[in-house]
Structures are given as structure tokens and as C-alpha cells.
């Protein structure tokens, strides 16, 4: 498709609900006892994969278009699905559900789309096997389809994580909840903590001391009222657009500001953008964010901040193309195993538009500022690459053609409408 053009953005939008919290709201609702209501659930394809998987596991889930109602069945109330579970493109669904289903009484099989079937699963399967789970990848590899053997009694684990990953941590926490005894999980770097927060919200217990998590099982959780805040990872595209486009002023309502997710705000501020936070709702960890055109300078992004902005690195790379100086992103090798290899995808697609960007083993080096030009690019089936390229297209005078724009519906089905709203806001 031909991407939307318009070289400044103004106005107010509500970004869609948080993807990580939406997935977990269904999972916790299912494994709790009693009713859970979820408001502002993200109806993007990834979260719908989670919803359909739990329906197939016998959990009563109703969506009236406004509220999702889940009648929780507990871990032991899950039922054998009639067929293999189709997880689509969703890494979060497949990894977290492995932790849930490893202790089930029945066998399951999980498969994904072409991208998911190439993503590494040993990071979850190996520690789960230490807990007595039986999982096997396709042809004995670590890749989906994954078969999980039921009827295993899970045992507690003491595990030092070799990767910084909230998905691995969360899968192990779900498995630990089903054991008899105490598990300890030590993170490589702190990562998003929604699973820990939601265990407490659902009446469970978990102790976090620095990078060490202690959790005992078995625990029974109780259904809750969940209101999902907006996704800062979706807001990030407009935070960057507002900072790099001339004459821009954007207000984003109800954005999640859990401190394990706000690395993008730290980087924007470090590079010279001012992000104003108003209407802060402490209970829901959300706020209204306002950004405007800013003079930007380069920076180095490395170390412990990386997990706090891992999904934002493609759009941060675009930000860096408009900043004065050399921006260096390192310690981000995890980008290679996302929906695409995001180091290569970001560098190669932005190079097509004239960016001065070089991929490295663990990140990117970007020189700016550069005037981007038109061209033909591809999302490569990766929602975040597609959205980053649409924001890049707003900087060009010539047309930009995007291959495979549909991928954006994974996390932000109304993305192009929101771009239109803000482009038109500029002409008012």
C-alpha cells in the first residue's frame, strides 16, 4: 500500500490497550477461580490467539464487545482441546502457555505461523524440563509445533536465567504456581513485571528482591476486575513522530507507565524531547503523555535499560536518524529473535529510505540527521517494523510503498486511522 503522507502531526488519540497485560488478563482469568471481567482488552490478533486458545481449553469466555467475561476454572479445570492449538504469530502466547500447560492432565500441541515456527523455544523448554515437564519441538528441534505431554507432576526450580526475558520468567512463574514447594528465579536483567503484579492482583503471593523472584506453590488465585491501560509500545510510534516531525504536538490518553516499560521516555528525554505527563492514575499505572517537535541529539542505549524498551528499538532507530550525532544501540541481541530479526529488518528497510544505519552483532549504529527519501519497503510480516516505516514515510517528500501492511493488526488494528486523525489534525 502507499503509506500516508503529511509532514506534521497534531491532535489527541487514545492508543490501544496493552498487549502484554491483555494476554495475561485472559491467562490469569482462566487459571483463577471465579469470574474475571476485563475492560479495554486489546482485540489485536496476538491477544485473540490467547483468547481462542483458552476457549479451546474449555474456559467459558464471553466478549460482548465491551467487556470480556472469563469464568475461571483453575489450573485443574482446563480441558483437553479437540485439536492442536493455533497460536498464530504470538511469542507471548506460546511461551506463557507452555508454563501453564506443562502441568496439565492432558497432552497438547501448539503451532504457529511461519515466523513463530522459527522462534527459539529452548529458553522456555529447558528450564521447564528441569521442573519435570515433557515438551518436544518439531523433529526434536526447539521450534514449534511443540508437543506437551500431560500428567506430569511439576517440581520447584532454582533457576538463573541466561536471557533477559519476561516471557521466560512468566512461563516459569506459571509452572511454579503448580508445584508443591518454593521456586526461585533469578533474572539476568530486570524485565517487564506484569506477571508479578497480576499474581498479587489475583490474590496470590510472590516476593521480588532485586533480580530474585521467590514463589511458592500450589496457589489458588481468585477472579478480578481488570482494566487494561493503553500500550506504551504502541504510543511509542507517536511519541517519536511528535518529536521528529516539524510543527507537531500530540496528546496520547491513558498510556501505561509501568516503570519496567518506560525506557522509551528515558531515551526521548535524554535525546532532548520533553514528554509531559498529566492525569496520572497511580492505581492503573497510566497517564496522558504530550510530546512536541524537539531538537534532538544522539545517545548511547545499552545495558539494563534494554529490556525496558526492547520492543521500541525499531522506532528509536528512526528517532536516531533525525538526531544530531551518532547513536549507538548495544546489548540488544534479543532483537534478532523477535517477529523478524529486527536488527537486520530495521537497518535494511531504513537504508532503502536513505538512512545512515549500520547493523552490529548486538544492535545498531545510526548517524543523523538525514533527510529520508521515498521508496519501496516491507514490514517483513512484523507489526512493529511496519508501523516504524509508516512514521518514516511522514518524513519523506516522495511516496513510500509498504509491502505487507496487514501485519500491523497484530498489536494495533486502528494504527492507520490514528495516523490519519493526527495528519488531519495538523490541517485544522
Looking at the annotation, which residues are catalytic?
311
**Least distance in Å: CB of 210 to ligand S3P?**
19
Residue 25 touching ligand S3P (CB under 6 A): no
Q: For ligand S3P, which is the closer residue by CB, 196 or 418?
A: 196
Q: For ligand S3P, which is the closer residue by CB, 4 or 337?
A: 337
- Site residue total, ligand S3P (CB under 6 A): 10
Using the rule CB under 6 A, give the single segment among 164-172, 223-231, 263-271, 417-425 that binds ligand S3P.
164-172
Cα 15 from Cα 40, distance rounded (Å): 11
Residue 286 marked ligand-binding:
no
Residue 100 touching ligand S3P (CB under 6 A): no
Q: Supply φ then ψ for residue 368, to 5 degrees.
A: -145, 175
Site string for ligand S3P, 36-75 (x = CB under 6 A): ----------------------------------------
**Least distance in Å: CB of 190 to ligand S3P?**
12
Q: For ligand S3P, which is the closer residue by CB, 37 or 384?
A: 384
Joined grid coordinates for residue 151: 500428567
Q: For ligand S3P, which is the closer residue by CB, 284 or 367?
A: 284
Joined grid coordinates for residue 299: 545517545
Give CA angle at 100 (98, 105), nearest 5°. Answer: 100
Beta strands in 64-193 (DSSP E): 67-73, 85-86, 108-111, 134-136, 146-149, 158-160, 181-186
The alpha helices in 7-105, defined as continuous H runs, are 19-31, 45-56, 91-101
Give CA angle at 328 (326, 331), nearest 5°. Answer: 175
Helix (H, G, I), strand (E, B) or coil at 350: helix
Binding residue (CB under 6 A) for ligand S3P from 90, 102, 167, 298 = 167
Q: For ligand S3P, which is the closer residue by CB, 16 or 368?
A: 16
Q: For ligand S3P, which is the closer residue by CB, 375 or 381?
A: 381
The sign of the torsion formed by the CA atoms of 117, 122, 127, 129 equals: positive
Binding residue (CB under 6 A) for ligand S3P from 165, 201, 251, 390 = 165
Using the rule CB under 6 A, give the single segment among 49-57, 162-170, 173-181, 320-328 that binds ligand S3P.
162-170
**Least distance in Å: CB of 269 to ligand S3P?**
22
Give CA angle at 172 (285, 90), nearest 5°. Answer: 70
- Nearest one of 424, 422, 354, 411 to 379, comparing CA atoms: 411
Name the burial class of residue 341, with classes exposed (0-12), middle (13-18) and buried (19+) by CB atoms within 10 angstroms of its CB: middle
Q: For ligand S3P, which is the closer residue by CB, 170 or 254?
A: 170
- The residues with which 108 forms a beta bridge, in sequence order, are 148
Residue 418 marked ligand-binding:
no
Residue 331 touching ligand S3P (CB under 6 A): no
Residue 166 touching ligand S3P (CB under 6 A): yes
**Least distance in Å: CB of 285 to ligand S3P?**
15
Residue 20 touching ligand S3P (CB under 6 A): yes
Joined grid coordinates for residue 148: 506437551
**Least distance in Å: CB of 166 to ligand S3P?**
4
Site string for ligand S3P, 177-196 (x = CB under 6 A): ---------------x----
- Nearest one of 157, 191, 150 to 176, comparing CA atoms: 157
Residue 388 touching ligand S3P (CB under 6 A): no
Residue 92 touching ligand S3P (CB under 6 A): yes
Cα-based distances in Å from 253 to 115, 277, 342, 413? 32, 10, 28, 17
The alpha helices in 297-365, defined as continuous H runs, are 313-321, 342-352
- Nearest one of 254, 240, 308 to 285, comparing CA atoms: 254
Report the chain's C-alpha Rg in angstroms.
21
Residue 90 touching ligand S3P (CB under 6 A): no
Site string for ligand S3P, 333-352 (x = CB under 6 A): -x------------------
Residue 338 marked ligand-binding:
yes
The contacts of residue 321 (CB under 8 Å, 6+ apart) are 350, 355, 356, 357, 366, 368, 369, 370, 372, 392
Helix (H, G, I), strand (E, B) or coil at 379: coil
The bridge status of strand 286-292 relative to strand 275-281 is antiparallel
Site string for ligand S3P, 300-319 (x = CB under 6 A): ----------xx--------
Residue 19 marked ligand-binding:
yes
**Binding residues for ligand S3P, per CB under 6 A?**
20, 92, 165-167, 170, 192, 310-311, 334
Annotated binding site for phosphoenolpyruvate: 19, 91, 119, 167, 342, 384
Annotated binding site for 3-phosphoshikimate: 19-20, 24, 165, 167, 311, 338
Amino acid at each position: 500500500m502507499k503509506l500516508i503522507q503529511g509532514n506534521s502531526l497534531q491532535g489527541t488519540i487514545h492508543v490501544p490497550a496493552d498487549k502484554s497485560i491483555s494476554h495475561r488478563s485472559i491467562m490469569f482469568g482462566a487459571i483463577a477461580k471465579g469470574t474475571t471481567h476485563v475492560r479495554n482488552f486489546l482485540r489485536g490478533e496476538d491477544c485473540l490467539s490467547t483468547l481462542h486458545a483458552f476457549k479451546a481449553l474449555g474456559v467459558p469466555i464471553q466478549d460482548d464487545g465491551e467487556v470480556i467475561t472469563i469464568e475461571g476454572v483453575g489450573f485443574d479445570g482446563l480441558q483437553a482441546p479437540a485439536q492442536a492449538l493455533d497460536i498464530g504469530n504470538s511469542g507471548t502466547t506460546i511461551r506463557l502457555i507452555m508454563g501453564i500447560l506443562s502441568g496439565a492432565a492432558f497432552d497438547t500441541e501448539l503451532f504457529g505461523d511461519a515466523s513463530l515456527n522459527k522462534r527459539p523455544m529452548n529458553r522456555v523448554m529447558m528450564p521447564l524440563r528441569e521442573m519435570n515437564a515433557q515438551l518436544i519441538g518439531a523433529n526434536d528441534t526447539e521450534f514449534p509445533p511443540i508437543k506437551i505431554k500431560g500428567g506430569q507432576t511439576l517440581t520447584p526450580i532454582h533457576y538463573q536465567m541466561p536471557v533477559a526475558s519476561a516471557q521466560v520468567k512468566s512461563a516459569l512463574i506459571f509452572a511454579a504456581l503448580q508445584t508443591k514447594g518454593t521456586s526461585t528465579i533469578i533474572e539476568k536483567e530486570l524485565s517487564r513485571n506484569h506477571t508479578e503484579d497480576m499474581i498479587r492482583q489475583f490474590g496470590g503471593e510472590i516476593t521480588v528482591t532485586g533480580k530474585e523472584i521467590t514463589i511458592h506453590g500450589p496457589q489458588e488465585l481468585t477472579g478480578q476486575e481488570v482494566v487494561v491501560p493503553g500500550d506504551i509500545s504502541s504510543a511509542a510510534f507517536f511519541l517519536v513522530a511528535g518529536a521528529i516531525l516539524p510543527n507537531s504536538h500530540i496528546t496520547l490518553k491513558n498510556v501505561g507507565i509501568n516503570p519496567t516499560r518506560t525506557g522509551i521516555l528515558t531515551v526521548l528525554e535524554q535525546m532532548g524531547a520533553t514528554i509531559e505527563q498529566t492525569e496520572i492514575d497511580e492505581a492503573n499505572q497510566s497517564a496522558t503523555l504530550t510530546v512536541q517537535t524537539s531538537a534532538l541529539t544522539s545517545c548511547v542505549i545499552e545495558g539494563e535499560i534494554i529490556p525496558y524498551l526492547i520492543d521500541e528499538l525499531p522506532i528509536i532507530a528512526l528517532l536516531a536518524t533525525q538526531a544530531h550525532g551518532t547513536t549507538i544501540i548495544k546489548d540488544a541481541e534479543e532483537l534478532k529473535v523477535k517477529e523478524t530479526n529486527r536488527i537486520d529488518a530495521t537497518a535494511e528497510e531504513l537504508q532503502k529510505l536513505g538512512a545512515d544505519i549500520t547493523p552490529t552483532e548486538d544492535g545498531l549504529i545510526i548517524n543523523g540527521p538525514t533527510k529520508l527519501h521515498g521508496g519501496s519497503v516491507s514490514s517483513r510480516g512484523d507489526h512493529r517494523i511496519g508501523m516504524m516505516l509508516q512514521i518514516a514515510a511522514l518524513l519523506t517528500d516522495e511516496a513510500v510503498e509498504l509491502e505487507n501492511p496487514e501485519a500491523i493488526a497484530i498489536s494495533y488494528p486502528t494504527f492507520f486511522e490514528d495516523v490519519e486523525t493526527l495528519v488531519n489534525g495538523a490541517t485544522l
